[in-house]
Amino acid sequence: MLRKFLKNSLLGIALLGLSALISAFLGAPAQAGVTKESADFEVQRIPSSGQVNTSANYFDLRFKPKSTQTIRMRVQNFSDHKITVHSTLRNAMTQMGGGISFTENTEALDPSLKYPFTKLAKLKKGHQKIKLAPQQAKIIEATIKMPAKHFEGMVYGDWHFIEYAKKNKGKSATISGNYAYSMGIALRGRAYNIYPKLKYRDVTPTLYHRHPAIAVNLRNIKPMALTKVSAQAVITPQGKDKPKYVFQKADTSVAPNSVISLPISWAYNRLKPGKYTVKAKLSGQNLWNRLPMQWTFKKSFTVSKDTADKLNKQAIKKPVNKWAFAAVASGALMIVSAVALWRVIRLRP
């Protein structure tokens, strides 16, 4: 009787352990993806008399000093409902890590930029907000007033169009995104054929993807863009080879008269106060003639205790590896189950 009771009990423990293991590794069911709908509208550039490169799919313009010119875009609603498209002009800048992006703000632009695009170009009144009936198309305009004096290189910006997604009401809500288009606008100076020039500005302790990081800031002080850019930055404690923190990126770009920040992340490590050395290298091609160019920098800097403590406090903490605990628990359970099965076999008559 006792032998039968022990056999059934141990068999139950074994089956329970194996059941728990199976449940742990199967996990929760996967969620289905969401398919985005096609855009409601499209934009089309209307050719300008000032276009230099007629094969370009953006505005590549050269106008006389002091002249006032008008450029136009056609906005078409292809949907069967009314839509509202918002239109803005923006200045070119370089986003963190490289790549040209755009901003309406002029305060964050590099001081070497003599003529921000948004200081020269203005939308026609009423063309900031474009209301379109189903299948309707409208021509919208922007006026460009060229500087009184000749300038070098290029002034770069874009014409941005966006339809903001409406919030869906009701129980069966769906996910939708904003629809946007960007049309580049380059204004050429009389002396267009100039070369980018990079200078080291400084380093900035910061958070990057919520991790402690050091941003190495390099300035392009000339009005010419860089393409095919590869960047690398390495930071080590001063006088040491390790630990080594590295940033690398390839095939990116740098806007004219802008700052490129190379973010070097400490990941889940704590940023320690002290003296550091940074070595940075950036190479790319000059936009107008594809000439290869390269710059290298080596600088020293200090991180204060207050700065390090502040960033470490704000940074995301390393997540607890629940799978490690689950694996240990599962392993222990497997051992118990195996022992239980072995005991069951031994207790058989």
Per domain, the residue ranges of the chain are 2-22+323-347, 47-188, 198-314
Q: Give the pLDDT confidence of 247-295 residue by residue, as tens digits.
A: 999 999 999 999 999 999 999 999 999 999 999 999 999 999 999 999 9
Residue pair 196/224 in contact by the 8 Å Cβ criterion:
yes
**In this predicted model, which residue has the larger pLDDT, 342 or 194?**
194
pLDDT at 92: 98
Question: Does the pLDDT of residue 328 top 70, yes or no?
Answer: no
Give residue 304's pLDDT band: very low, low, confident or very high (50, 70, 90). Answer: very high
* Of 174, 178, 172, 296, nearest in space to 232 by CA: 296
Assess whether pLDDT exceeds 50 at residue 17. Answer: no
* CATH superfamily name and code, 47-188: Immunoglobulins (2.60.40.10)
What span, in angstroms and rounded, lies between the C-alpha atoms of 279 and 283?
Answer: 14
**Residue 108: per-residue pLDDT:** 85
d(CA 308, CA 246): 18
Average pLDDT over residues 233-253: 97
Pairing of strands 59-61, 68-77: unpaired
Per-residue pLDDT band at 4 (split at 50, 70, 90): very low
Per CATH, 47-188 and 198-314 having the same topology is answered: yes
The DSSP element (H or E) to which 171 belongs, if any, is none
Instruction: Determine the angle formed by the axes of helices 322-347 and 2-26, rounding to 10 degrees.
Output: 150
pLDDT of res. 319: 83
Distance from C-alpha of 99 to C-alpha of 260, rounded to nearest angstrom: 9
For the cut 60, the answer to whether the pLDDT of residue 21 exceeds it is: no
How confident is the model over 290-319, as a mean pLDDT? 96
**Dihedral, CA atoms, 229, 234, 235, 237, nearest 10 degrees?**
-160
Fold of 198-314: Immunoglobulin-like (2.60.40)
**Whole-structure pTM value:** 0.79
Q: Would you state the torsion angle of the CA atoms of residues 195, 201, 207, 212, taken in this order, to the nearest 10 degrees?
A: 110
From CA 272, how far away is CA 304, in angstroms rounded? Answer: 9
